Structure formats: structure tokens, C-alpha cells
Amino acid sequence: MTAYDLAIVGAGPAGATTALAALHADPSLRVALLDRADFPRDKSCGDGIAPHCLTTLAGIGVTGVTDGWTPLTELELARGELSVAATMARPVHVIPRQVFDARLVERAVDRGATLVRERVTDVESLDARVVVGADGAHSVVRRHLGMPQGRRALAIRGYAPTPPERRGTQVIRYGERRQPAYAWAFDRGDGLSNVGYGELLPAEGEGMPPSRQLLLDQLELLLPGYEGADWKGHHLPLSSWRWDQPDGRVLLVGDAAGLINPMTGEGIYYAIATGVAAGQAAARALRTGEDAGVLHRGAVRARLGTHLKHTFVASRLAEYPVIVDGGIRVARRDRRVFDELVELGLGDGRISGRLVTGLVTGLGRKGATQLRSRLRKA
């Protein structure tokens, strides 16, 4: 392989954004985007593009990636008979990864990156001064670094016609199994919805993972009526209390870095945010001789460190159905709490004093005791 300044393994949103950010910082860099697939290609995902993604991309001069797709403003959260539905402060988009990823790759190539069709199995074979692992949940680059895997979830996704009553909406319905466990239906705005179900996988020795049929049965139980879809499954490496990145020339971003919101399963914002951080760190390290890993670790922790702690706590609180119910009740009567939950689940929000106070006052004695106990343990 021709020598490059920066080799990026994986050309999804994390990898393409890394290339875009590096070339935005220094257009003279020789950047390779390596992926085993041709683009456009499908990718199993919820397809939600939060507004935070677009703001972050705009910061490196990338715009127009949602052109032609209808923004969504309505969100419903529900568990059993309890629900809250409201208009989000900022709209989101639901764009198939076959479209969204290809648009980012096209912009990266236009900016000067070289797209290479190659399955990378050995990081040592890459002739580059800095290497970025953006190769997803089963990352070869992560294994090369010897980084352990944390908690994981498993989800199944398909596309099905949008019922008239669910046009223009995103619906999330929580289930009763290992938390987080929920079904979703996100209208794409083109007559189809992205629908699916996912749940936390058991730790080693704690039982068998859910079967494909069990996932489909849970989807039908929580959100019936979506049939005829071509179902695809995917693993989600969930973020934990503290995120780490080794020193050196090999960086991790997105799913490969173990960055999936453990409360919602959202990962595209994390992919784009860490892609920008990695691209900028690589460009600076190549220019100054500084350690790329140190630069990348500092940038990601500064941007997401506190947020990751809060989403970790939120995911543990969600293990208690009474707390999930309390959160829905509080969000129903306090619009600011609803907005805070959206920010926590889709962007880089945090658990506020208002949310905690609302939960404590609205849970009753039993629920408040569980909440305080869980917060102390966290």
C-alpha cells in the first residue's frame, strides 16, 4: 500500500468524518479511507441523525448531508400505558445509512481522501504515520490495541411502511426484558419507517443472548403491525463510566472506541464528534510531532467525559421500571425535563438537578428510595 500520512480503517460516519476533519485542518495530508465494502452500502442502524451531528459537521465545513430528507419534530416515549409525546426543541432526521454514509464518503473524497476497497486484518501492514480505527463493533484495530470490550446490546432493524397515525414521529416503547430494552419506529418521511428492537446482552455466564425470533417477538409485542421487512441485526458496544485511549499513533473512534449511548443506543453523534477530534488530533500530531493518542484522548474527554458519566448513570437507573415510569411522568408535566432527556439520549446532555428533583418528588417513597440507592452506587 502506498504510504500515507493518515490511514483510516472503516469509512462509515466516524471514519469519513475523521478524514474530513484532518483535511479541513491540513488539505495537504495524504489520507486513505479503507473499507471492505463499496459505497453506497446498507448498514443496520436506527438511522437517526441528531441536530448535534449537523452542527459538528458544519464546524469543519461540511453541509447539505440531509438535503432532500424530511426533518422530524415529534417524539413519543412510552412504557406500558404510560407515555409522553411532545415536539422536540430541534428536529432530527432519519436517513438510511446507505444514503448518509455515502454522502460523507463522497465529501471526503472531494476534499482529497483516497477511498481504498480493502479488508484490513493486520494493522501492522498499514504504511501510515497515524492510524485510526473506525471499523465498528468488531474492530480489528481495537483488538490490535488490546482494549477490552464493555457491555453490549443486540438490536434488529428493518424498514416497513409507515402507518398514517405515525407519520412525522419517532416512537420509543420500553419493554420488560434486560434493560435497556425498547422497540422503536422512526418515520423516514418517504413512506417507510426504520423499526426495530434491541436489548442489553447478558454478561458472560449470565445466560444466553436473545435469539432473532425473540427480538422479533418483542418488537411485535411492543410495536405491532410492522411486517414484510428485511431484518438485519447489529451489536452495540455501549459506553461506560470512563472512556480511554492509549498513547501513540493508533486512535479509536465511534463504535470501535466503544462509544454507543448506553441509555438509547445512539451512536452516530459520538461517531461524528470523535471523528472530528481524531482528525484534528492527527493533523496536529503530524504537524508538530506531538503524541496523537494524548491529543485525541484529551479532546474526547473534554467534550464527552462528563456526559458519558451521566449516560452511564442514566442507563443504570433505567434498570428500574419505577424510575423509567417516573421519568416519563416528570417529562410529561415539565417540558424542560423532556428536552433534557432528549439531549441526554441524542446529544451530549447531562442529568440536571431539575430532573433529579422531579424524579424524587414524583416517584413516591419506594421509587425515591431506589433512586437514591442507585445514585449512591453509581
The answer to whether residue 222 scores a pLDDT higher than 80 is yes
E strand or H helix at 192, and its extent?
strand 192-200
What pLDDT, in 10s, does the model give residues 46-71? Answer: 999 999 999 999 999 999 999 999 99
Mean pLDDT of 126-146: 96
Mean pLDDT of 126-133: 97
91 falls in which pLDDT band (50, 70, 90)? very high
Q: For 236-240, 251-255, 371-375, which range has the lowest pLDDT when averaged over its residues? A: 371-375
Separation CA 151–CA 128 (nearest Å):
31
Query: Residue 314: how many CB atoms within 10 A of its CB?
Result: 24
The residue written with cell numbers 414521529 in the block is 169
What is the predicted pLDDT for the residue at 127?
94
Q: Residue 353, Cα to own-chain centre: how many angstroms?
A: 25
Q: What percent of the chain has pLDDT over 90?
A: 83
Separation CA 101–CA 20 (nearest Å):
13
Helix axes 364-377, 321-333, angle to 10 degrees: 110
What is the predicted pLDDT for the residue at 106?
98
Q: What percent of the chain has pLDDT over 70?
A: 95
The answer to whether residue 364 scores a pLDDT higher than 70 is no
For residue 49, the SS3 value is strand
What is the predicted pLDDT for the residue at 133?
98
Among 346, 367, 348, 347, smallest CA distance to 356 is for: 367
Separation CA 298–CA 245 (nearest Å):
9
Separation CA 120–CA 139 (nearest Å):
10
Separation CA 334–CA 47 (nearest Å):
28
Give the amino acid at 374. R
What is the predicted pLDDT for the residue at 353?
87
Residues 6+ apart with CB under 8 A from 119: 36
Contacts 24+ apart (CB under 8 A), 301-305: 301/243, 303/273, 303/277, 303/348, 304/243, 304/259, 304/270, 304/273, 304/274, 304/348, 305/242, 305/243
Q: Residue 78, Cα to own-chain centre: how many angstroms?
A: 21
Mean pLDDT of 333-338: 92
The answer to whether residue 1 scores a pLDDT higher than 60 is no
User: Can you spell out the DSSP letters for 217-272?
Assistant: HHHHHHSTT--S---EEEEEE---SS----SSSEEE-GGGGT---TTT---HHHHH
Among 160, 154, 188, smallest CA distance to 265 is for: 154
Mean pLDDT of 342-348: 94
Among 250, 222, 232, smallest CA distance to 146 is for: 250
What is the predicted pLDDT for the residue at 355?
83
Report strand pairing: 152-161 vs 192-200.
Answer: antiparallel
Mean pLDDT of 1-6: 84
Q: What is the pTM of this model?
A: 0.94
